[in-house]
Amino acid sequence: MDAQPAREQRSLFGEILDWMLAPLLLLWPMSVALTWLVAQSIASRPFDRDLAEMARTVARQVVVVPGSVEQPSAVRLRLPEVASEVLRADDADKVYFQLLGARGEFIAGDRALPVPEETPLAPQALKFRDDEVHADAVRVAYLWLPPTGVPGESPPLVQVAETLDKRARLATEIIKGVIVPQFVVLPLAVLLVWFALARGIKPLNELQQRIRLRESHDLSPLAERDVPEEVAPLVGAINDLLGRLDQSMSAQKHFLADAAHQLKTPLAGLRMQAELAQREIDAGQQDPKALKQSLQYIAHSSERAAHMVNQLLAMARAEAKTLARPPEPVDLAALARETVRDFVPKAMDKRIDLGYEGPEDARALKGRLKGRLMGQPLLVRELVRNLVDNALQYTPAGGTVTARVMDDPFGQVVVLQVEDTGPGIPEAERSLVLQPFYRALGTNADGSGLGLAIVNEIVQQHGAELAIADARPRASAAAQGMGPGTLFTVRFALSRAPVDPAAPAHDGPPATGG
């Protein structure tokens, strides 16, 4: 499978510059087009007024003599020859006029001037239109005279037209006066935008330099007052991350120091017993009992060191949230039964009654649960193992340890309980025993102090709830000469996905009873 090409890194400066200049460059042609239209309108207004005045002047020179049904009305033009010359005296444009009679007949002017297609409007209502005369574009001003009142006759029509050369020249001059300065202003605006953006993004570069110049161990917060208001949330988030990193690194340093301290004890005992055995051999003492005792101490110390290392690895694995795989279905009942089976030899050595109560596997619970437990099977197995191992460590000989799996009345969670008959955990210490390397006071059990910390970490990763309580009332337990015991309860929330009856279930071993 071909690897996907690496995504090209974007430039914030370039992207902002593009978003600022792209609209500017897009709006500039629109501005030119709108300027052209506005220039055309502005250039037409004074010439339209002159054209309208010429049309009204011609209309005032028209004489209408009303007729009758038998005799059509007579329409004449009293325009003197001198006035006609003035009307046509224009060295830039051609001027045309036309007069039509009451029956649409041509009276005077230019026959080539087109007649408007609309019906006659109110008398003296001057209108304008664009048309053509001899293939030349013209602007026409026209109006209808008062009607003659004779049936079948329409109002006489007066039209005056003018070509558009003067208008076009004026519009061109207006556009030149508006557009040409823009060719100077636009590059200047681009330069100012680039300068302003470079100036505005400068605090980011300064922040980058401040971060780069920091020592690797300097996790103190950045000063939020030295950055712009828009960058302050980013600096706040960075400070929050630095604070969490500082806490994490401090916890890791504390953890490593405690781990080194805890490992020193078994390793020191291992070294001491090995040196003692070597001195006895060098001294010529061949007492098998003494050598056997030294070897037993060595084996015990190495076992404690190996257990400590395994617990540290389990703790690291439980804390590796970023490396966690996608959640998988977890058969909690089968895991609990397997764990009980694995610890049977240890329970028998300590003469402890170890047992399991609950269904054999997930199929026995499917009718009562409204979902399935999703998580990391490896981590859940580690959780169960640490709870059972912890119970066996603190339960005296002749005691009882029980692991049970059950559902709640509403089928929303699945519950894991591990109960023992040990000395119990005082209420004031129940939150402390979840911390790494903490061990309850007044106990001589051999352990690393990591088991319950691992359990707590796995519980948090799975969104579960962990509760610690006495297994039995302290008063009655004291009257019987026994410890109150400890009851660990873990409630796992179920996912909404329904349990698939056809899914293969993990069959565990038969229940082990005490």
| Tens of each residue's pLDDT in the chain, 514 residues | 455 555 666 677 777 777 777 777 787 788 878 878 887 788 788 888 888 988 888 888 888 888 777 788 888 888 666 556 656 656 778 888 888 988 888 988 888 899 988 877 667 788 999 999 988 999 999 998 888 778 878 889 999 999 988 888 888 888 788 777 777 777 888 888 888 878 877 877 888 788 888 887 778 888 877 777 777 888 888 888 888 888 777 767 766 665 665 566 567 667 777 777 777 777 766 667 766 777 776 776 676 667 667 666 666 666 655 455 688 888 899 899 998 998 898 899 899 999 999 887 667 666 667 678 888 888 888 899 889 988 998 899 889 999 999 887 777 889 999 999 988 888 888 888 888 767 665 555 555 567 788 888 889 888 899 999 988 887 777 777 778 889 999 999 988 654 444 444 444 433 333 3
Cα 384 to chain centroid distance, Å, stands at 37
Give pLDDT tens digits for 418-458: 999 988 888 888 888 888 767 665 555 555 567 788 888 88
Distances (CA, A) of 168 to 33, 110, 375: 15, 24, 80
| Boundary residue ending a domain (259, 283, 315) | 315
Which residue is associated with the tokens 């005490």? 514
343 and 245 together in one domain: no
446 and 382 together in one domain: yes
Single out the residue of 108, 170, 180, 178 nearest to residue 139, CA to CA: 170
Q: Phi first, then psi: give them for residue 404, nearest 5 degrees.
A: -140, 150
Give pLDDT tens digits for 261-296: 556 656 766 777 777 777 777 776 666 776 677 777
245 and 161 together in one domain: no
Domain containing residue 451: 325-493
Tokens describing residue 375: 């998580």
Is there a domain that residue 500 lies in? no
Q: Phi first, then psi: give them for residue 501, nearest 5 degrees.
A: -65, -30
Burial 315-340 (b: 16+ CB within 10 A, else e): bebbbeeeeeeeeebbbbbbbbbbbb
The set of residues, in sequence order, having a beta carbon less than 8 Å from that of 313 and lying 6+ positions away, is none
329 and 311 together in one domain: no
CATH code for the domain of 288: 1.10.287.130
DSSP, collapsed to helix, strand or coil, labels residue 217 as coil
In the chain, the number of structural domains is 3
Tokens describing residue 57: 């002047």
CA–CA dist 425, 488 (Å, integer): 11
294 and 414 together in one domain: no
Q: What is the 8-class DSSP label of residue 411?
A: S
Give pLDDT tens digits for 67-114: 777 788 888 888 666 556 656 656 778 888 888 988 888 988 888 899
DSSP, collapsed to helix, strand or coil, labels residue 265 as helix
**Contact between residue 457 and residue 434 where contact means Cβ atoms under 8 Å apart:** no
The set of residues, in sequence order, having a beta carbon less than 8 Å from that of 17 and lying 6+ positions away, is 193, 194, 197
| Boundary residue ending a domain (172, 191, 206) | 172
Is there a domain that residue 499 lies in? no
CA–CA dist 487, 390 (Å, integer): 12
338 and 273 together in one domain: no
Tokens describing residue 53: 């005045």
Is there a domain that residue 390 lies in? yes
How far apart are the two ends of the chain, measured CA to CA in Å? 55
158 and 233 together in one domain: no
| Boundary residue ending a domain (264, 286, 315) | 315
**Contact between residue 63 and residue 78 where contact means Cβ atoms under 8 Å apart:** yes
**Contact between residue 386 and residue 449 where contact means Cβ atoms under 8 Å apart:** no
CATH code for the domain of 127: 3.30.450
CA–CA dist 168, 173 (Å, integer): 9
CA–CA dist 406, 427 (Å, integer): 25
Single out the residue of 360, 334, 358, 366 nearest to residue 503, CA to CA: 366
Which residue is associated with the tokens 């950055």? 227
pTM: 0.48
Per-residue model confidence (pLDDT) at position 404:
92
